[in-house]
Amino acid sequence: QSSLRLKSKLFSACGLFCYSEFTLVPGRNMYTVREAEVKNVFHGISASIEGMSLAMYMAEMAMTLSPTGQEAQRELRLLLNCFYMVSESKTDLRVVKAVFELRTMSECGFMPQIVCCRDCGVYDGAAFYLDVQEGYLLCADCAAKAGKRCNLDRNALFALRHICLVEDKKIFSFKISVGSLEKLAAVAEQYALTHLDKPLKSYDFLKTVLP
């Protein structure tokens, strides 16, 4: 709590949505912060309540998943990239949200099976069904046989594959129509929340400002 005092040398490094590097000293029961250096402050996030609520949602999801090792490094890069996109108003917040949800699930070992239809192997089509619980795809014909209603169109499926599979620096390099984004956003949210161990406190508020 001493770091929250204005005169503390650690105050600026502990701000909300501030990326900092800390030097820790091991003690008998805990670590003590010896020094901290601010790497980046995402000032633009606080420019809107929508941006703030989305950033809090993404941060809570990352904390809930708590990956380790290389997964943690990839998760941090993703989170910082999404914070940057929100801070600089680079793209639609619903796109940022869908990218984070799908990519973070993929990085943490929950990538859906998105190559082709599970039952017939079809790769392309006007509509597909993604089972958000099991993570498999069904083409329109196989979905109809299984009594499932398609929740992705062609462009939404292309974006989903892009987000899950492309290299980090190209993750936002896709275009999507408003109608396809609605489908992508709904599936991404359902898929992510289904695979979390517990509900996110930030989710209910986020949905009031970014439905």
pLDDT per residue as tens digits for the range 25-36? 888 888 888 888
pLDDT at residue 34, as a whole number: 81
- What mean pLDDT comes out for the span 40-64? 95
Q: Does residue 23 or residue 206 have the better pLDDT? A: 206
* Residue position matching structure tokens 């029961």: 29
Give the burial class of 143: count Cβ atoms within 10 A of its Cβ; 0-12 exposed, 13-18 middle, 19 or more buried: buried
pLDDT at residue 57, as a whole number: 98
pLDDT per residue as tens digits for the range 161-200? 999 999 999 999 999 999 999 999 999 999 999 999 899 9
Q: How confident is the model at residue 8 (pLDDT cuts 50, 70, 90)?
A: low
What phi and psi, each to the nearest 5 degrees, are found at residue 202?
-80, -10
Query: Which range, of 60-74, 85-99, 156-170, averages the lowest pLDDT?
Result: 60-74
- What mean pLDDT comes out for the span 81-87? 97
The share of the chain scoring above pLDDT 90, in percent, equals 76
Q: How confident is the model at residue 69 (pLDDT cuts 50, 70, 90)?
A: confident
pLDDT at residue 2, as a whole number: 46
pLDDT per residue as tens digits for the range 117-163? 999 999 999 999 999 999 999 999 999 999 999 999 999 999 999 99
Task: Indicate if the pLDDT at residue 114 is higher than 70.
Answer: yes
All residues at 6 or more sequence positions from 62 whose CB lies less than 8 Å from its CB, including other chains: 75, 79, 104
